[in-house]
Chain A
Amino acid sequence: MGSAPESHPRDHRKLRSRTAGLLGGADSVGLLSMFRGLGLETVSHAPQKGKATSLGIGIFGRGLPTNTVHKDKEEPHLTFPDSSVLAAGDSKLAESSIGWNRTLGRGNSDVSSLPLGRASEGIGRGMCRPPGALSVSNQDPSQLSSPPPLLQSSLNSPECLPCVNIENKEKEIFVKRGSKGKPQTLGLNLIQIQCQNEAVYQYHVTFSPSVECKSMRFAMLKDHQTVTGNVTAFDGSILYLPVKLQQTLELKSQRKTDGAEICIKIQLTKILEPCSDLCIPFYNVVFRRVMKLLDMKLVGRNFYDPTSAMVLQQHRLQIWPGYAASIRRTDGGLFLLADISHKVIRNDSVLDVMHAMYQESKENFKDEFTKLLVGSIVITRYNNRTYRIDDVDWNKTPKDSFTMSDGKEITFLEYYSKNYGIKIKDNDQPLLIHRPSERQNNQGMLLKGEILLLPELSFMTGIPEKMKKDFRAMKDLTQQINLSPKQHHSALRCLLQKISKSETANNEMARWGLCLQMDVHKIEGRVLPMERINLRNTSFTTSPELNWVKEVTRDLSILTVPMHFWALFYPKRAMDQARELVNMLEKIAGPMGMRMSPPAWVELKDDRVETYVRTIQSVLGVEGKIQMVVCIIMGTRDDLYGAIKKLCCVQSPVPSQVINVRTIGQPTRLRSVAQKILLQINCKLGGELWGVDIPLKQLMVIGMDVYHDPSRGMRSVVGFVASINLTLTKWYSRVVFQMPHQEIVDSLKLCLVGSLKKFYEVNHCLPEKIVVYRDGVSDGQLKTVANYEIPQLQKCFEAFENYQPKMVVFVVQKKISTNLYLAATEHFVTPSPGTVVDHTITSCEWVDFYLLAHHVRQGCGIPTHYICVLNTANLSPDHMQRLTFKLCHMYWNWPGTIRVPAPCKYAHKLAFLSGQILHHEPAIQLCENLFFL
């Protein structure tokens, strides 16, 4: 029985993912299991006790585990500033997409009197939603009579007063449409769904005398298909039908076990709009069945077609084309959001990979292998499941035994041979450990313990780390998976055609009255006006491609810090390259307005880590005033890089620049590489490169992002970056390490108070408006940010006398599956940077918009989703959109626009460096420099 997703009332995310997992199983009970989930979801909206404590942790703790998989390291070459290339792999796995913890629904019983008042209140508030108002609306469902109490208290009581609610959309009216910019027709990867049924009817089913066993309840109800029809969705007590039954129905069944007569009472409780939020979950179940009917295989949450696999033999992997698709409800109605997805799977089993690794390096083999495996996702051969690997157990082998569910001991060898006819070839392989997140079985017992997998029977998914560093290999791969908008669109059309051609698939949809449009949805978006970039003495409007590398290397940066005392460390073998580099730096420094003296040349006798570390240490010790440490290293060496950064960011704080000798090895490219290096050095020294006009005065902009350690249960790292001058060109940064289950708020306060103090130091006043861009938050966590995190942040203001700044908080989501196409021409093309969409596909519950800020070179235009969860500054939609766009111009590592606002990207880099490389908070002395670039 362990399979029913009995769960914690609070745990929405897990519940959802587990339900999805269940459905993926080859032998799930399909619709029914979905509904077990649904029923619980309703329960979960009973008063959220302990909300504050539990939720606060979740969000920084282990919010989006898969999110971190592809985060890029310090960009060695600036060609992929937004890692869009990497996103194509299995990062799509991370999309949660099914918007089904929105069940909060605004349906309530006393609608008749309420809507007017609330609606007007809604208008009054406009897009400004103070946290107070939010929490009121949050409590609504529990105060109002309908589903939760029914489910809990009257499950077994036969006399339950009939109360029918006609669900009514009483919606707050959000002002979220802007007007600035040039209108443009856009295509979307959303397909409109028409609901042909008038309504979906929700019933409450009681059995008396009560029937405990759920499957028996299912069976008994199934006996009455003549009454209910065969299109049902039932979770054991709540029943959804596309038809209206007689008000209250009493049926009789005989319990087969003891012959007792059971009375089944079916009462109508709600009439739902066919596109009601409550229906979305089972619509998604229906759609999954449609995909199965088309012979697609469910992997994780997406569907793939293994028969069309592309095999890249040279790289020992295969790519399965497929779709990520889910039904969701947005401001524009019901849509199928369909994205093209590719699953990258290795040709080799984990055991093969292990053997190959052993051949290559026998020293540290175990550590290396564990490092490679931890955090990666494997697929097991004998079922369609994926597991995240948390550790490797080197002390166990398949000869060890485990306890089966019936209490018997069996060895792994015997188990696989008996149940799957698989003969294990390597009896001495270690076992892989997957630690599922805590679960409860249906007796409320906590299920703990590990799941052990055999390397021989597991396949790794995703792009191998080694390959990600291999430019040429990545090119081979991206050629396969990066689709042009035109290809993307035709792949979607192909899916729609397949569905429409399959009679069974169509029937499946039609049972619930769902009808898909034949092509993607088109809407009107806008392209925001181009921005002016300001340098020290000049300013210019950006080119349509939004790249200003020429200008920044030709003209004076806003502020340059003279570099008089710097040291250059290089191994003997790289002497020539070091000389060439310095010559070039001297040549190009002038135009940028950078003054520099020759470095202290430090030649190293070899390129061992210790040699670097000891030499740097001794030079820093002697020369107290070294401004900058520049190291040339031979090739990509994570250990050396880490050692240098640890030394220069933590132990002896000094800005540092590590250069791979390969990047400066080609004379033809040296000039442009040196320019980029010098710009970066200037930033690290505290210089300022360029700015944009910021009309908002007394403004502070904050970026926050979270880095999660790949091994679960490890601490997470929060990067916090705040602007401390009026032109948004000086940044203050802090890092917070956060253990799982540890309160984050105190440390966040520290960051905010610290930056406000610094702001005061610089400007002699405190900011009037604070705009926060918060990355690393999933849909399910939005309410947590709004109801818990923000009030805590606001408490910081009490540290200052009489200080009540206005605040705007955006949640930034870049791993989304919404794609934009420019539909101006016959075939779809990539939309221009600055394209914004603020209607139709937007959320019903928040003020939000989609902005594509970066220039898309390859593939489709994936915009970034900005959700405004707080706006006490009353920023208009135009203000929000333009401020965000402006900030996307401000990332100094890239002379162009990037996908997210600069503070977000800075926070991301900072968190990544601290979590992945330093494993420690950087020294406070560096907090005013962009040392982490």
Chain B
Amino acid sequence: MGADLNVAAGLLALRRSPPRGVHWSAAPGKSHQANSRAEPASKRHRPHPTTAGPCRRVASAKCKSMVDGNFEDLPNAVIKFNPPLYRQRYHFVRDVVVQHEPKKVADLGCGETSLLWMLKFHQCIELLVGVDINEEKLRWKKYRLSPLIGDYLKPREQTLTVTLYRGSAVERDSRLRGFDLITCIELIEHLEAEDLAKFPEVVFGFLSPTMVIISTPNSEFNPLFPVVKLRDSDHKFEWNRIQFQMWALDAANRYNYSVEFTGVGNPPAWAEDVGYCTQIGIFKKNPTKAVGLCVPEQQGEHVYKMVYTTTYPSLQQKKYRQCAVVNEVISQIHDMRRELLESLKAQSDRDFEAMPEDTDTSEAPFECLRPVLAPLNDKMEKIPKPFCIGNMFYVPLERLFSLPKVKHLCINIEMLKTLIAGTVTLNSDGSAVMVDIYDGRDDE
């Protein structure tokens, strides 16, 4: 995680962060003096996402920190994180997702759904759930989680359902059981003591996901901020490293998890020993022999209120798979036909030169049962080739099925046939697609 920190006290220190997943007993990495800002903007080109995506996210998330009153990323703060700390936290989660490829992911206390928004692009995820107690916020922000135009144009391979619930992290809703990953980013410090006590039991004991990520402020870092209070007026507590680790280890032991500690937001060089600004615990469920604990997930209480749910278009839906197959098939047939026509044209041009007094050769039906396309390789040699009868051009389904993209989309030739039958014309025995050689060439 190339997380940098700039201290606006004149010296710009660029540090290399310690490797992720290290126990906090290890000292942070050695500091480098590097002039990170003086870099000339030699590249004038921006890809558009820099203006569209990230920048805007900064803006909206800034609102978030304002609303939350959290001053970690204030514009005129003395200590500045680059990228902003909230994004470092999200990037941390994203990297975990990329590494472990969980299918079912839930974010407790998802707030304005920024983390979910970032995660929904990842193809491995099939179910993405956000839970927050603020229904208004969920309602306002839900549209950013709806499928994009591009999701319809290029549907995902696997399904994706995004669901938002109004609810609390200490309520038990069976719909969240058995997930691969549950994240609680800057959540626990907002819990009252009573709820905090219930939290491990609900998250580890009841929901019992394969992995849990919990982040919370590290109070040892606070003296570096100008106001030595809690970072947010809604924080009920802020723990130092020992406190957090004690709590985490206790929970992990009780529910048979192992835990590693790390964090994001490096301290400045002159205060290395305060540790990361945000401390993170990564909990992994220990493999158990008896899986008997696993209750069928659909049973039990549904206490959360569903605010929003949407299913993304994917190739798992017949409509989109069919569309993709037909698109590929037609495009391949066009290519094959074009090659054929080109070879024919070359032929007819030669003929035309040879006999200038031509007699309308193009209209004459020609018999060319011989293979018209050069084989790609030996393997393709064995597969039936396209052929012509009269003015019709035939491409055997077997040939089409040998194309990697088509093969990927269809399990067998029968499936290919079913999917394309409605859109293209098949020959009498249904073994080949037939098209007119001159189709589309002789317009009015």
Contacts and interface: CB of A to CB of B under 8 A. Distances in A.
Interface of A: 1-4, 25-30, 77, 213, 215-216, 218-219, 222, 256-259, 292, 295, 297, 299, 306-307, 309, 311, 313-314, 316, 345, 347-349, 352, 356, 359-360, 379-385, 387, 396, 401-409, 412, 415, 418-422, 434, 447-453, 457, 459, 470-473, 662
Nearest to B146: A295
B59 A1 contact: yes
Contacts of B69: 256
Interface in B362-400: none
Interface stretch (B39-47, B190-198, B235-243, B244-252): B39-47
Contacts of A4: 59
A459 B153 CA distance: 8
A342 B88 CA distance: 42
17 contacts: A2-B55, A25-B56, A27-B56, A27-B60, A213-B66, A215-B59, A256-B71, A306-B152, A381-B153, A383-B150, A385-B48, A403-B43, A404-B50, A421-B123, A447-B51, A459-B150, A472-B443
Contact of B66 (A77, A216, A384, A452): A216
Contacts of B43: 401-403, 409
Contacts of A402: 43, 45-47, 50
B52 A383 contact: yes
B39 A407 contact: yes
A434 B47 CA distance: 9
A432 B10 CA distance: 40
A421 B121 contact: yes
B49 A256 contact: no
B62 interface: yes
B39 A449 contact: no
A77 B94 CA distance: 58
B150 A379 contact: yes
Interface in B140-174: 140, 143-144, 146-150, 152-154
Nearest to B439: A314
B287 interface: no
Contacts of A314: 330
A260 to B, nearest CB: 11
B331 interface: yes
B227 A405 contact: no
A404 B82 CA distance: 12
B227 A412 contact: no
Interface string B63-76: 10011010100111
B19 interface: no
A307 B313 CA distance: 9
Interface residues of B, number: 68
B308 to A, nearest CB: 11
Contacts of B286: none
A412 B444 contact: no
A65 B149 CA distance: 24
Contacts of B39: 407
A420 B62 CA distance: 21
A256 B146 contact: no
B323 interface: yes
Contacts of B92: none
Contact of B149 (A384, A421, A451, A471): A384
B233 A256 contact: yes
Given A1-B58, A215-B59, A219-B66, A448 B49 contact: no
Contacts of A451: 46-48, 51
Interface string B22-38: 00000000000000110
A545 B244 CA distance: 84
A316 B330 CA distance: 9
Contact of A215 (B55, B63, B71, B143): B63
Nearest to A458: B150
Q: Which of B37, B146, B443 has the most CB of A within 10 A?
A: B443
Given A257-B74, A316-B330, A383-B52, A453 B47 contact: yes
Which 6 residue pairs of A and B lie closest in terms of their CB atoms, listed nearest first?
A381-B150, A256-B69, A451-B48, A306-B152, A421-B122, A26-B144
B100 interface: no
Q: Which of A3, A348, A409 has the most CB of B within 10 A?
A: A3
B327 interface: yes
Given A2-B59, A387-B48, A396-B45, 11 more contacts: A26-B144, A27-B57, A30-B140, A256-B71, A297-B149, A316-B331, A381-B153, A402-B46, A407-B82, A472-B444, A473-B440
Interface in B65-124: 66-67, 69, 71, 74-76, 82-83, 94, 98, 114, 117-118, 121-123
A471 B443 contact: yes
Contacts of A450: 44-46
Contacts of A30: 140
Contact of A360 (B37, B47, B49, B338): B338
Contacts of A1: 55, 58-59, 62
A27 B144 contact: yes
Contact of B440 (A347, A415, A470): A470
B16 to A, nearest CB: 14
A348 B326 CA distance: 12
B153 A345 contact: yes
A257 B71 contact: yes
Contacts of B146: 295
A4 B58 CA distance: 12
Contacts of B430: none
B54 interface: yes
